[in-house]
Amino acid sequence: MANRRLGRIVSHLSDSQQSFPTQNPVSQGKPVRVVVTGAAGQIGYALIPLIANGSMFGPSQTVILHLLEIEPAMKSLHGVVMEIVDCAYPLVVGIVPTSDPAVAFKDVDVAVLVGSFPRKAGMERGELLSKNGAIFEVQGKAIEKYASRNIKILVVGNPANTNCLILRQFAPSIPDKNFTALTRLDHNRAAGQVAQKLNIPVSQVRNVTIWGNHSATQYPEANYAVVQAPGSPTKQVNQLLDKAYLEGPFVPTVQKRGAEIIAARGLSSALSAAWAATCHVRDWWNGTAPGEWVSMGVLSDGSYGVPKGLIFSYPVTIKNGDWEIVQGLNFPEFGKEAIKTTTEELLQERELAFQKLNIPLK
């Protein structure tokens, strides 16, 4: 019965888009099919409106929302679908709510993989990796079998870097450059901290970087960050803020921000995570501005001494939908040690996860 009701909602949505023209005409081209997993969860609930209102793909790009949930959450997802219909988003031309990965990933162009098994009190890291490994094995196989061959994939669910690596193992025909993990949340947090410290709008802060894992071992770095105020010369952040701050309070503040938010509100940082996912895909889709880079978890090619085959956060520039790692940056001794620490954690996560899934280490 629930599935029939959802089907009627989807049909009604399509009819309403055809029957009621909007004040701002939308694209008549091919809609982007985007899947959100864990769509009825906190992050999904905050993310879907950002996709639907054009924040992710632009104000003239229509979308078809594929919304994946586990079977026990389908009632909640039904409510989310009703709200999407009630918002009457001009850009939304279809909704596909489902608990079946084969349906969810069918022909999708972009995947934002939010759903994952959360770490619970007393849970060992190996157990967490094992539970998430099972989830991302299923989704990887579905992507391999059903998705567009050029699907762009963003893993949000933690541990995001290693979940992304697992996913890649089960979707071997998808290009390596199409697998990414979310560290834009940490990037945005770093930019926000610099802006607060300097008492300037965050829009003026460029080129902070997150290196490594999306975890407390990440290395937030601002040695190459700049401040670009309108009508003023560009200034280096490391000339405006001293080393004691940039290698001191700045680093743990960014590393531990998620835990701090949980302590303050009793819930995870869903709003900022949803916005970060939107920024990540938006820049991947449209490109970065000249002279600007962003942080993305991508497959290491050995740059900066990081072992090949890890999903590692680097500074990247993006053009025509293709990212490139920024080369030639130098680190103080503090940074070298920080990168070593986060790399070692990722190597340990990969070993644990691959052992649980019986994936041979190459």
Show the tokens assigned to 258: 């998620």
Chain position carrying tokens 């996709």: 51
In tens, the pLDDT along 149-164 reads 999 999 999 899 999 9
| Residue 135, both tokens | 């989830």
Tell me, rounded to whole angstroms, the distance of Cα 290 from its chain centroid.
Answer: 22
pLDDT higher than 60, residue 236: yes
Token pair, residue 246, equals 């940039």
- Return the pLDDT at 9: 41
Q: What percent of the chain has pLDDT over 90?
A: 81
CATH placement of domain 2-20+29-181? 3.40.50.720
Name the catalytic one among 66, 187, 214, 280: 214
DSSP 32-65: EEEEEESTTSHHHHHHHHHHHTTTTT-TT--EEE
Classify burial at 102, counting beta carbons within 10 Å of its beta carbon; exposed 0-12, middle 13-18, buried 19 or more.
Answer: exposed
Compute the distance between CA of residue 81 and CA of residue 83 in angstroms, rounded to an integer. Answer: 5
Q: pLDDT tens digits for 252-282?
A: 999 999 989 989 999 889 999 999 999 999 9
Who wins on pLDDT, 2 or 82? 82
d(CA 198, CA 230): 15
Residue 268: the pLDDT is 87
* Residue 214 annotated in active site: yes
Across the chain, mean pLDDT equals: 90
Beta-carbon-side half-sphere exposure of residue 338 (alpha carbons within 13 Å)? 24
Which residue spans of the chain are classified as CATH 3.40.50.720? 2-20+29-181
Closest by alpha carbon to 136, among 107, 109, 159, 106? 159
Per-residue pLDDT reduced to its tens digit, 119-143: 666 656 667 777 888 899 999 999 9
Is residue 68 within a helix (H) or strand (E), and if so which, with residue range? strand 63-68
pTM of the entire predicted model: 0.91
pLDDT of residue 3: 43
- For the ranges 15-19, 121-125, 287-291, 332-336, the lowest mean pLDDT is seen at 15-19
Q: What is the pLDDT of residue 84?
A: 98
Q: Is the peptide bond preceding residue 59 cis, with omega within 30 degrees of 0?
A: no
Laid out side by side, the sheet with 235-236 consists of 205-206, 226-227, 235-236
Q: What is the pLDDT of residue 144?
A: 98
The pair of three-digit structure tokens given for residue 73, joined into one six-digit string:
């959450």
CATH number of 184-348: 3.90.110.10
Residue 4 has pLDDT above 50, yes or no: no
Domain with CATH 3.90.110.10 in the chain: 184-348
Task: Read off the pLDDT of residues 26-73 as tens digits, 9 standing for 90 and up.
Answer: 444 799 999 999 999 999 999 999 999 999 999 999 999 999 999 999
How far apart CA 338 and CA 224 sit, in angstroms, is: 16
Tell me the C-alpha distance between 179 and 66, whole Å: 19
pLDDT at residue 207 tops 90: yes
